[in-house]
Amino acid sequence: MNSFEAYNSIKKRQRGAQGEVGGGGEEAAIKKEIKKEPQDDADRNVSAGVREDYDEENKKKAQQTGLRAGKLLELFEVQLVVVISIFLDLFTSTSSILLTYNIKSESGSSDTEDYKLAILRVLESLSSFVLIFFLLEVGTLMVVFKDKFFMHGGYLLDVAVVGLCSVNEIYSGGKEIRLLGFLRLWRLVRLVNSMLNVARSEHNDTKAILKLAQQKNKELQVEAVLLQDSLQRSIEARKSVELMLKGYKDEVETLSEGEQTNETKHAADGCKVI
């Protein structure tokens, strides 16, 4: 019995020790998890900041792309193509209306009617192509300029005219409504205005260049006057130096002549003494 009780006490002690060790391990694990939580929060904050920076970069890139697309659509060449398309649409619509009335009013030969119908089909095809181009142009302007598009009266007029013409085309209406394209000739006014602005800008640039050239010319004239004065002073200084040298030369010659005269006189006196 004593040995059995001793065995049980030993087992209990071992279990207690294991429990303490196990409890300490769980506490350590909990502490590790608690320590990890701030790190996870910091990682989440860092990742959120990275996402914000990435979103801002994407927004900036989108804005830059929109500005480039807007500048491309506002180019003189693009606007010229749009104005030509408007005139082409008006021409095809007017011609189609007149030709349709002509076919209905006249009952000529079948060959003449076939010829006119062929021309009418070509005009209608051109008109449909131009209308598709207008839809693409207005849709592109709407996507690029977004809110600014709806604040522009001319663009809103374009939307109304192109929308009415598209609905009329879908329901196979007459071509008379296409004559509303005359309202879109404000593009021609803007095109002429842009041409005048370009001419004014070039004129102002030319004036600025001419003004700079005049200033440079004045500066060169002042430098030329200064150089001329400096040259005149140097000439006068050279003349004065030459005069001084000439005076020195005359003095030297005078002195040399006086010495020669003295030597001759001494030589004559010597001869007399002898």
Q: What is the pLDDT of residues 205-248, one digit of tens each?
A: 998 999 999 999 989 989 898 898 888 888 888 888 888 888 78
In the prediction, which pLDDT does 91 show?
92
Structure tokens at 263: 């030597």
The whole-angstrom separation of Cα 135 and Cα 72 is 17
CA 24 to chain CA centroid, Å, is 68
Between 20 and 96, where is the model more confident? 96
Highest mean pLDDT among 53-57, 153-157, 175-179: 153-157
The whole-angstrom separation of Cα 90 and Cα 79 is 17
Look over the chain and give the mean of its residue pLDDT values, rounded to a whole number. 77
C-beta separation of 144 from 69 below 8 A: yes
CA 210 to chain CA centroid, Å, is 26
CB atoms < 10 A from the CB of 89, how many? 22
Q: DSSP readout, 224-244? A: HHHHHHHHHHHHHHHHHHHHH
The whole-angstrom separation of Cα 256 and Cα 104 is 131
Query: Quick check: 54 pLDDT over 70?
Result: no
Question: What confidence tens digit (pLDDT) does each residue in 18-49 have?
Answer: 554 444 555 555 455 444 444 455 555 555 55
